[in-house]
């Protein structure tokens, strides 16, 4: 078999992937063309000084949020890796899993319910004669919310990487009698440093493009993000040129970060282990036990109270769910979330297949990386700008509000695509790397190849990808707010409106309902796939 003929059945003929690539690039290009056309008639209408300040504030809060998330995430991962058994470990990991999949607007409510002036902390300080005021609204609230989301995400990624250290390393460390400081320096630190750039890049992008958290907790224009500024320019001022410039600026800044840190770079192959289990040798050090207990308590103090607030306050407000508006919002959210998740996963699968064919079949890794870049790049495209551009381009043909629901589904599908792609692409490529040559030599192709080669490795990641995509679409606030009308209200939009009118009990009940929908989705995915999303061992 010649090199060029290797994996003939995986040749780069992925028509579905090519069509998906054309569709994605075409939609993004069409949307920005619409913004630029509308902006050409309305003018810029903005201040470059304002934009410079906005970028600096966005970069500052995102950098600080990322730094705090990585520090706490790495500390939690080390503590959990050293403490393999302690009362509440499974509960702690489950709480971390739930925190990372909560819709942002629900997390905002939970954080206000705990740390706000009328929350648990406010009641506690008021009992001793202190008044918290509005301290939560501004940078402190944004940092708390971002760390609440992203520290568990970082911890799970670090913990999975630490768990991949082969037992032979620990056996050698035990034989040499290495002290804890040396173990950290030669075993733990290299693993953390290897994972940190990719995790930091994703967390930074999530914080830099944050919308719901900053909109609800920013406290005004002094602490804002480009995403919120794009929403305000489109929704309240109809400044299309300013929105287009801000959206393009956001893409440029994010890509300038994404490319150097190599978030698309492949992880190095792990050393094959003998399979013998060997526990960490630093788990019995007394000083580390005390340190780990402190770290775990600090992590629990951040993660557990907001989750409990959702549960307790939501149960107390259950009677508020008997409302036609809530029922209508549930069906609207499902009508958006389910098709958006399925479409986003289908697009991700097509792109992942094209990337696999280019990388393995055509031996064109750069072209495969370019496909992956397009898939991940959607993460930095403003969904508000995308929605507005499509709205403008459709306006001469049809009333965009009459097709508001399909537009929301389409934009949410694109926004969910990067997360689904990250789940699907690695196992799909791994199947070709492991079994492609053997399948070619046996003449296995078509659906038989999919069933025997791809599906065993793809089944669980695919189900998880669908769950992630649907959950993200169910929790969307930005796109639904942009197209939202009196008849088109989703659960996140309803929660935001209830919070804005200080109807906290009703907001609590709807937040609990949305949380249960998302949690039920992942429990179903766990049952169907036999695994928990991104489960940390």
CB of 385 closer than 8 Å to CB of 31: yes
The percentage of the chain sitting over the pLDDT mark of 70, rounded to a whole number, equals 84
Position 70 pLDDT exceeds 90: yes
Position 9 pLDDT exceeds 60: no
In terms of Cα–Cα distance, which of 422, 413, 282, 241 is closest to 341? 413
Confidence of residue 433 (pLDDT cuts 50, 70, 90): confident
Confidence of residue 343 (pLDDT cuts 50, 70, 90): very high
CB of 16 closer than 8 Å to CB of 350: yes
In terms of Cα–Cα distance, which of 65, 18, 70, 31 is closest to 378? 31
Confidence of residue 86 (pLDDT cuts 50, 70, 90): confident
Does the CA dihedral 200-153-415-506 come out positive or negative? negative
CB of 400 closer than 8 Å to CB of 407: yes
Position 131 pLDDT exceeds 80: no
pLDDT in tens, 88-97: 888 888 888 7
Phi, psi of 41 (to 5 degrees): -90, -25
Residue found by looking up tokens 């399909």 in the block: 406
Confidence of residue 3 (pLDDT cuts 50, 70, 90): very low
Average pLDDT over residues 333-352: 93
pLDDT score recorded for residue 446: 62
pLDDT in tens, 179-207: 777 878 888 888 888 888 888 888 998 89
pLDDT in tens, 243-277: 888 888 888 888 887 777 654 444 444 444 444 44
Position 139 pLDDT exceeds 70: yes
Q: Where are the domains of the chain?
A: 31-536
Cα-Cα end-to-end distance for the chain: 41
∠ Cα 249 23 229 (to 5°): 25
Q: At what angle do helices 455-474 and 324-356 cross, to 10 degrees?
A: 140
The percentage of the chain sitting over the pLDDT mark of 90, rounded to a whole number, equals 15
CB neighbourhood size of 114 (10 A):
23
pLDDT score recorded for residue 524: 82
388 φ/ψ sector (left φ>0, alpha ψ -120 to 50, else beta): alpha
pLDDT in tens, 25-56: 999 888 888 877 776 655 555 567 778 888 88
Q: How far apart are CA 102 and CA 153, in angstroms?
A: 12
Position 4 pLDDT exceeds 50: no
Position 150 pLDDT exceeds 90: yes
In the numeric block, which tokens belong to residue 14?
Answer: 């992925």
pLDDT score recorded for residue 362: 64
Position 327 pLDDT exceeds 70: yes
Q: How many helices (H) and strands (E) does the chain have?
A: 22, 0
pLDDT score recorded for residue 109: 84
Position 339 pLDDT exceeds 70: yes
CB of 243 closer than 8 Å to CB of 385: yes
Position 383 pLDDT exceeds 80: yes
pLDDT score recorded for residue 430: 76
Q: Which residue has the higher pLDDT, 307 or 177?
A: 307
Segment holding 142, helix H or strand E: helix 139-163
CA 63, chain centre distance (Å)? 17
For domain 31-536, the CATH architecture is: Orthogonal Bundle (1.10)
pLDDT score recorded for residue 272: 42
Q: Is 362 helix (H, G, I), strand (E, B) or coil?
A: coil
Position 338 pLDDT exceeds 50: yes
Confidence of residue 511 (pLDDT cuts 50, 70, 90): confident
Average pLDDT over residues 390-403: 77
Average pLDDT over residues 432-445: 68
pLDDT score recorded for residue 66: 94
In the numeric block, which tokens belong to residue 230?
Answer: 């794009």
Average pLDDT, the chain: 80
In terms of Cα–Cα distance, which of 426, 294, 301 is closest to 353? 426
Whole-model pTM?
Answer: 0.79
Q: How far apart are CA 178 and CA 160, in angstroms?
A: 23
Q: How far apart are CA 368 and CA 354, in angstroms?
A: 8
């Amino acid at each position: 078999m010649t090199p060029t003929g290797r994996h003939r059945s995986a040749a780069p003929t992925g028509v579905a992937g090519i069509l998906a690539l054309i569709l994605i690039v075409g939609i993004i290009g069409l949307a920005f063309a619409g913004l630029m056309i509308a902006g050409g008639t309305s003018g810029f209408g903005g201040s470059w000084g304002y934009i410079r300040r906005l970028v600096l504030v966005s970069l500052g809060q995102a950098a600080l949020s990322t730094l705090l998330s990585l520090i706490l995430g790495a500390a939690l991962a080390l503590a959990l890796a050293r403490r393999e058994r302690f009362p509440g470990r499974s509960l702690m990991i489950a709480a971390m899993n739930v925190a990372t999949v909560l819709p942002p607007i629900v997390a905002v409510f939970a954080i206000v319910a705990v740390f706000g002036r009328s929350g648990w902390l406010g009641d506690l300080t008021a009992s001793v004669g202190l008044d918290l005021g509005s301290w939560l609204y501004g940078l402190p609230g944004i940092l708390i919310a971002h760390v609440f989301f992203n520290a568990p995400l970082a911890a799970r990624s670090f913990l999975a990487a630490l768990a991949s250290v082969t037992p032979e390393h620990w056996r050698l460390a035990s034989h040499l009698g290495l002290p804890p400081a040396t173990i950290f320096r030669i075993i733990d630190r290299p693993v953390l440093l290897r994972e940190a750039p990719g995790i930091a890049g994703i967390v930074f992008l999530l914080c830099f493009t944050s919308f719901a958290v900053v909109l609800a907790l920013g406290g005004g224009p002094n602490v804002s993000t480009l995403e919120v500024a794009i929403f305000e320019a489109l929704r309240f001022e109809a400044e299309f040129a300013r929105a287009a410039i801000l959206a393009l600026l956001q893409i440029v800044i994010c890509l300038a970060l994404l490319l150097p840190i190599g978030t698309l770079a492949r992880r190095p192959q792990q050393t094959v282990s003998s399979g013998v289990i060997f526990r960490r040798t630093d788990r019995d050090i007394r000083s580390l036990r005390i340190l780990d207990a402190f770290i775990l308590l600090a992590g629990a103090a951040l993660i557990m109270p907001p989750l409990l607030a959702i549960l307790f306050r939501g149960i107390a407000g259950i009677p508020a769910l008997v409302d036609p508006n809530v029922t209508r919002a549930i069906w609207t959210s499902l009508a958006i979330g389910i098709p958006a998740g399925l479409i986003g996963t289908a697009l991700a699968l097509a792109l992942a297949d094209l990337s696999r064919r280019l990388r393995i079949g055509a031996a064109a890794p750069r072209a495969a990386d370019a496909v992956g870049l397009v898939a991940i790049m959607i993460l930095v495209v403003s969904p508000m700008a995308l929605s507005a551009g499509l709205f403008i381009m459709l306006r001469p043909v049809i009333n965009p509000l009459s097709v508001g629901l399909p537009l929301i589904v389409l934009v949410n599908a694109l926004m969910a695509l990067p997360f689904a792609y990250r789940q699907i692409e690695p196992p799909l490529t791994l199947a070709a790397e492991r079994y492609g040559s053997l399948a070619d030599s046996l003449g296995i192709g078509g659906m038989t190849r999919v069933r025997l080669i791809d599906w065993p490795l793809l089944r669980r990641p695919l189900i998880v990808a669908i769950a992630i995509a649907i959950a993200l679409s169910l929790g969307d606030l930005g796109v639904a707010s942009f197209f939202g009308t009196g008849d088109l209200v989703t659960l996140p939009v309803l929660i935001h409106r209830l919070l804005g009118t200080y109807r906290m009990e009703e907001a609590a009940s709807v937040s609990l309902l949305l949380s249960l929908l998302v949690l039920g989705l992942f429990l179903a995915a766990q049952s169907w796939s036999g695994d928990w999303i991104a489960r940390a061992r």
